[in-house]
Amino acid sequence: MAGRVVFRVLRNFAPIEWLRTHPPVRTVHFSPALCAGHNKWSKVKHIKGPKDEARGRMIAKFGLMIKIAVKEGGPNPDMNANLAQLLEQCRNKNIPKASIETAIKNAEKAKPASQHMFEARGPGGCFLLIEVLTDNITRSQQDVRRILSKNGGTFSDGVRYNFSRRGVVAVPGRGVTSERALELAIEAGAEDVQETEDDDEDEAPLLQFICDNADVSKVRASLEDMGMNVTSAGSEFFPTLLTPLEREQLEAASALIEALSDCPDVVRVWDNVQVES
């Protein structure tokens, strides 16, 4: 199953010289991937959709996130750090320049829209955070409620408190050993470093450096100074407690998250599902 390898970085860490002779112990955890990916579900589903269809959904989701960024900080990436980071991600995903420019123009001309976070429970009691961008909150809420009802889910207050928002800086992980990943995290001032698959199965794994939201720019600059190619930087929700599911519940949760992700107003879905290897 898709997963990630976590190297916990302690604040009172040992010297790098000691780490070179005492490689870190690998502990495998499973939880949501960076941004809107949820690539861990690709190996749960029986039949994968065509790649062009998946790419179309990815472009649409980036369009929604660009709309949010423009709404919050304006269309100039030089004055809008969130937009600049999204545009960088789009370039790394080879999203056509015309699609990006159209998304920015449409964001400026679009009806006033608001961003909301719905809280829900899915099959087996798993927690879901559903981020939406909409110009009609009533319609969006009804659409999400319908999807939840059809797929064994329901709205549930208080779910948000089971997630914490952390800064994430991602770099390609190919050729980087666990020892070197830990060294990079310590030198950059990150708290954790996690290895996870990229949304595109043809791409190299990613190293996600986790830090406080206020430290994203500092960690990014440190990694770039060390010669790392940063592919994205921003913030994500991470579950504080993972929920293990039986196979049938896992497939039901996969179907629910896929259905939610296909909803036009849904930007991203976070979950706390633990996928056993």
pLDDT in tens, 177-235: 888 999 999 999 999 998 876 555 556 688 999 999 999 989 999 999 999 988 888 88
Per-residue pLDDT, averaged over 26-53, amounts to 42
Confidence of residue 32 (pLDDT cuts 50, 70, 90): very low
* 96-101-103-105 Cα dihedral, nearest 10 degrees: -160
For the beta sheet containing 154-155, the strands, ordered from the edge strand earlier in sequence to the opposite edge, are 154-155, 114-121, 127-134, 266-271
Q: Specify the higher pLDDT residue, 80 or 2.
A: 80
Kindly report, residue by residue over 58-74, the tens digit of the pLDDT: 787 788 788 878 877 88
Kindly report, residue by residue over 42-59, the tens digit of the pLDDT: 444 433 444 566 677 778
Q: Specify the higher pLDDT residue, 23 or 91.
A: 91
Burial 84-104 (b: 16+ CB within 10 A, else e): bbbbebbebbebeeeebeebb
Q: Specify the higher pLDDT residue, 21 or 131.
A: 131
Can you say whether the dihedral through the CA atoms of 50, 54, 59, 63 is positive or negative? positive
pLDDT at 138: 95
pLDDT at 202: 53
CA distance 230 to 55: 22
Look-up: residue for tokens 């472009």? 59
Confidence of residue 26 (pLDDT cuts 50, 70, 90): very low
pLDDT at 149: 97
Confidence check: pLDDT of 152 > 70 = yes
Highest mean pLDDT among 70-79, 99-108, 133-142, 189-198: 133-142
To the question of pTM greater than 0.85 for the whole model, the response is: no
Kindly report, residue by residue over 232-277, the tens digit of the pLDDT: 888 899 999 999 999 999 999 999 999 998 898 898 899 999 876 5
Report the candidate in 185, 203, 183 with the shortest Cα–Cα distance to residue 193.
Answer: 185
CA distance 224 to 149: 46
Tell me the pLDDT of the chain averaged across its residues.
79
| Domain boundaries along the sequence of the chain | 1-10+18-277
